């Protein structure tokens, strides 16, 4: 008789040691990774998603069976006992990707919008997992979002950096509460280069971008929450605001954000005119991860341009000179 059935969701940080299929050292993970493994009590099957061309930031993707063996000492793993139906659906989803059958998941890899993170959350949603979202309280004690438990949100595809998904993974509801198989395992991060540390930090973007996003939340977060927006949606809009400030960085820091009468636009008032507007609907059509990825890319380009004008190498150029990897693995 098969069972008990289980799934383990893994998160590896940049710098995690890799081995090839013969167990020989094969460098380290450039950007970290997220994947899952299912077991019927006898046989385990690992499923992950990455570009076909190793190191590519975008292009054709492929499902892989080798991640649990390849990634040595991942930073976090959560194991849950699951139902036979969940096991079947997780295996169905993973096998389809390995066979390059994209009926359940888009096969075009993009490090910002369709990566290993999206793939793993897609599998969990396909198998019908539920998630617990705690109550979100504002700075003055007001409730912004009510506590809820239910299916993983349709719009939620995870966070850009694999390590930032750990808290969300921990909020998944155990399908078999009290099972002896249910567990979480943490490991200390492997030695990482300064660039790998940079791309695995919990805080995204430049200090100015983070300050802009924080100002957005302070000035409009409560109001948007009262209008029924989730904390995730507010975060997406804050990331969009950081991106727009970077786009128009020549106009200076953001002084204030103003919400239009019908809440369809956000006005961004900077040190110098003109006033810039953010379309709320368009901004929410993109994920928080996508906004941050574009914002960081803009900041890098701006830093590179300024460095070329001054003759001083930017941090992005220094990374290139050191052959630092891009956010491409997983």
In tens, the pLDDT along 83-122 reads 999 999 999 999 999 999 999 999 999 887 899 999 999 9
31 or 255: which carries more pLDDT confidence? 255
Yes or no: say if 291 and 303 are a contact pair by the CB < 8 Å rule.
no
| Predicted confidence (pLDDT) at residue 235 exceeds the cutoff of 60 | yes
| Predicted confidence (pLDDT) at residue 200 exceeds the cutoff of 80 | no
Tokens of 192: 């990482």
Q: Distances in Å between the alpha carbon of 66 and those of 11, 46, 50, 63, 108?
A: 14, 6, 11, 9, 20
Least confident of 38-42, 246-250, 316-320: 316-320
The partner residues of 62 in beta bridges, in order of sequence, read 50
Q: What is the pLDDT of residues 62-88, one digit of tens each?
A: 999 999 999 998 999 999 999 999 999
DSSP E strands in the chain: the ranges are 5-12, 17-19, 25-28, 33-39, 44-51, 58-64, 76-82, 108-110, 130-133, 136-137, 143-145, 148-151, 183-186, 254-259, 265-270, 276-279
Mean pLDDT of 37-53: 96
| Predicted confidence (pLDDT) at residue 217 exceeds the cutoff of 60 | yes
Instruction: Report the pLDDT value the prediction gives residue 309, as an integer from 0 to 100.
Output: 63
55 or 228: which carries more pLDDT confidence? 228
Q: What is the pLDDT of residues 128-177, one digit of tens each?
A: 999 998 887 766 777 777 889 999 998 888 887 888 899 899 999 999 99
Least confident of 60-64, 193-197, 245-249, 286-290: 193-197
| Predicted confidence (pLDDT) at residue 239 exceeds the cutoff of 80 | yes
Q: Spell out the residues 6+ positions from residue 5 whose beta carbon is closer than 8 angstroms to its own.
A: 38, 39, 40, 41, 81, 82, 83, 84, 86, 87
| Predicted confidence (pLDDT) at residue 262 exceeds the cutoff of 50 | yes
Q: What is the pLDDT of residues 293-323, one digit of tens each?
A: 889 889 888 877 776 665 544 444 433 433 3
Instruction: Report the pLDDT value the prediction gives residue 307, as an integer from 0 to 100.
Output: 64
Q: What residue has token string 């490991």?
A: 187
Mean pLDDT of 201-222: 80
Instruction: Report the pLDDT value the prediction gives residue 288, as an integer from 0 to 100.
Output: 84
User: For the whole prediction, is pTM greater than 0.75?
Assistant: no
Q: Is 327 helix (H, G, I), strand (E, B) or coil?
A: coil
Categorize the per-residue pLDDT at 187 as very low, low, confident or very high, splitting at 50, 70 and 90: confident
**Which residue in 217, 276, 279 sits closest to 249, CA to CA?**
276
300 or 51: which carries more pLDDT confidence? 51
């Amino acid at each position: 008789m098969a069972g008990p059935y289980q799934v383990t969701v893994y998160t590896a940080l940049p710098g995690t040691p890799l081995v090839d299929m013969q167990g020989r050292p094969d460098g380290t993970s450039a950007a970290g990774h997220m994947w899952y493994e299912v077991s019927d009590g006898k046989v385990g099957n690992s499923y992950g998603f990455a570009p076909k061309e190793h190191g590519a930031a975008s292009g054709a993707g492929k499902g892989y069976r080798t991640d649990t063996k390849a990634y040595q000492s991942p930073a976090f793993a959560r194991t849950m006992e699951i139902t036979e139906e969940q096991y079947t659906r997780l295996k169905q989803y993973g096998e389809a990707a390995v066979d390059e059958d994209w009926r359940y998941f888009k096969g075009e890899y993009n490090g910002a919008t369709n990566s290993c993170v999206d793939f793993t959350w897609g599998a969990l949603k396909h198998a019908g997992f539920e998630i617990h979202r705690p109550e979100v309280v504002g700075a003055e004690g007001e409730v912004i979002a009510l506590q809820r438990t239910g299916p993983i949100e349709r719009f939620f595809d995870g966070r850009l950096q694999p390590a930032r998904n750990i808290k969300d993974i921990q909020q998944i509801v155990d399908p078999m509460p009290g099972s002896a198989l249910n567990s979480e395992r943490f490991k200390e991060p492997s030695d990482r280069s300064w660039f790998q540390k940079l791309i695995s930090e919990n805080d995204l973007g430049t200090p100015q971008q983070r300050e802009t996003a924080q100002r957005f939340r302070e000035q409009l977060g409560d109001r948007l929450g009262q209008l029924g927006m989730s904390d995730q949606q507010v975060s997406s809009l804050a990331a969009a605001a950081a991106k727009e400030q970077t786009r128009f960085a020549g106009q200076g820091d953001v002084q204030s954000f103003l919400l239009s009468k019908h809440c369809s636009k956000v006005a961004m008032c900077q040190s110098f005119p003109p006033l810039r507007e953010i379309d709320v609907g368009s901004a929410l059509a993109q994920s928080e991860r996508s906004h941050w990825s574009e914002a960081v890319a803009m900041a890098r380009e701006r830093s590179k341009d300024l460095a070329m004008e001054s003759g001083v190498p930017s941090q992005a150029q220094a990374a290139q000179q050191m052959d630092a990897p891009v956010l491409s693995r997983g």
